[in-house]
Amino acid sequence: MQWNRRELLKAGIGVGASILLPPTLGLAESLIQRKIPSTGESLPVIGIGTARRYEAVTTEAERAPLREVLRQFKETGGRVIDTAPSYGTAETVVGDLVAELKIRESLFIATKLGVRGHDAGIEQLEQSFKRLRTPKIDLIAVHNLQDTQTQLGTLRQWKQAGRIRYIGITTSFERQHQEFEQTMRDEALDFIQVDYALDNRKAGQRILPLAADRGMGVMINLPFGRGRLFTAVQGKSLPPWAGEFDCSTWAQFFLKYIVSHPAVTCALPGTAKVEYLVDNLGAARGRLPDAAMRRRMESFIDGL
Ligand SMILES: NC(=O)c1ccc[n+]([C@@H]2O[C@H](COP(=O)([O-])OP(=O)(O)OC[C@H]3O[C@@H](n4cnc5c(N)ncnc54)[C@H](OP(=O)(O)O)[C@@H]3O)[C@@H](O)[C@H]2O)c1
């Protein structure tokens, strides 16, 4: 849905057309991108998660900071927004603000399907399209493996019909990892979404390598363990070697660890404040830790 400079040139929109380009295009190129294995489309490695802070938004005073987050996210070249029908007001808030800001075209909207039964699935999908106010949703994933076979069947049909661009599955529970892995082996999926964080590295053992083997894109949920990592480092200074991979805050330390895993397409930190947005997008810039540095980061966190 987003055109990069090369595609614009390929399409013949070249010299002289630069005045038509949105002013953010140059900035967009400065965020580190990863390719979605099933298509080669690129996405920035940091997105936005909408659980919790977007879930109970009823007043304009509550919407205003979220509008500013989404506006600046798009301005900075951000694309991926993750939501779900079960996140209270989140889908509605995202749909309304994106329509109001007129930024749908440049975004990659991911939501989920989380009910049992064929008809209930269809009903929930229609509701997501209405709430998100879009004729096409970029990614819909079966939420926490609920009625996976039935819902994947429907998602495949809707993808074929052109209403969904990518399909997948999600979990954030270690107890589901085995079934999750099996589903990855059995099904053709564009994406998986799984919990992975510097202090929660289990998905890194089998699920992330399997995703790479199977050609599946990977979105990471709970990248801060719902804030657990910030609590772990409270009152502590960043180690000086964090500068070796252009990291100046704890949020960037945690996110750069995640997005430096070669199988990861993007991380989805819960982001409801502009201050956090600016901080988190900083993890999509500069150098990333290499394998040796990643081990150093693990030892550091394990040693706390
Ligand atoms: N099964 C699934 O599919 C599944 C399950 C869980 C989550 N998810 C997705 O993953 C996303 C992320 O999970 P999450 O939001 O629950 O947890 P998270 O991203 O691990 O942590 C969010 C917490 O981090 C804080 N935070 C964010 N940026 C910060 C920064 N730069 N500096 C300091 N603190 C910062 C937030 O603070 P405040 O409290 O101040 O806002 C919030 O408490 C969700 O929003 C959702 O989209 C999917």
Q: Using one digit for the tens of pLDDT, what is the confidence trace for 145-203?
A: 999 999 999 999 999 999 999 999 999 999 999 999 999 999 999 999 999 999 999 99
224 lines ligand 1 (CB under 6 A): yes
8 Å CB contact between 194 and 291: no
Whether 62 and 93 have beta carbons less than 8 Å apart is answered as no
Q: How far is CA 143 from CA 138, 147, 173, 231, in A?
A: 15, 9, 11, 28
Which residues make Cβ contacts (< 8 Å) with residue 179, sequence separation at least 6? 145
Q: Quote the tokens at residue 169.
A: 């599955």
* Mutation pick for ligand 1 pocket among 224, 254, 281 (CB with most ligand atoms within 8 Å): 224
Assessment of whether the complete model's pTM goes beyond 0.75: yes
Interval 80-114: pLDDT, tens:
999 999 999 999 999 999 999 999 999 999 999 99
Confidence of residue 8 (pLDDT cuts 50, 70, 90): very low
How is 39-82 classified by DSSP, letter by letter?
Answer: T--EEESB-EE-TTTTTT--SHHHHHHHHHHHHHHHHTT--EEE
Cβ of 270 closer than 6 Å to ligand 1, yes or no, is yes
Give residue-wise pLDDT tens across range 18-60. Answer: 334 444 444 544 999 999 999 999 999 999 999 999 999 999 9
Q: Is the CB of 223 under 6 A from ligand 1?
A: yes
Which pLDDT value is given to residue 154? 98
Q: Provide, rounded to the nearest whole percent, the portion of the chain with pLDDT above 90.
A: 90
Residue nearest to atom 37 of ligand 1 (CA): 227
What pLDDT does residue 160 have? 98
Q: Do residues 43 and 68 lie in contact, with contact meaning Cβ atoms separated by under 8 Å?
A: no
Expressed in angstroms and rounded, the spacing between residue 32 Cα and the centre of ligand 1 is: 21
Q: Determine the average pLDDT of the residues in 110-125.
A: 98
Q: Which of 239, 277, 235, 272 is nearest to 255 (CA)?
A: 277
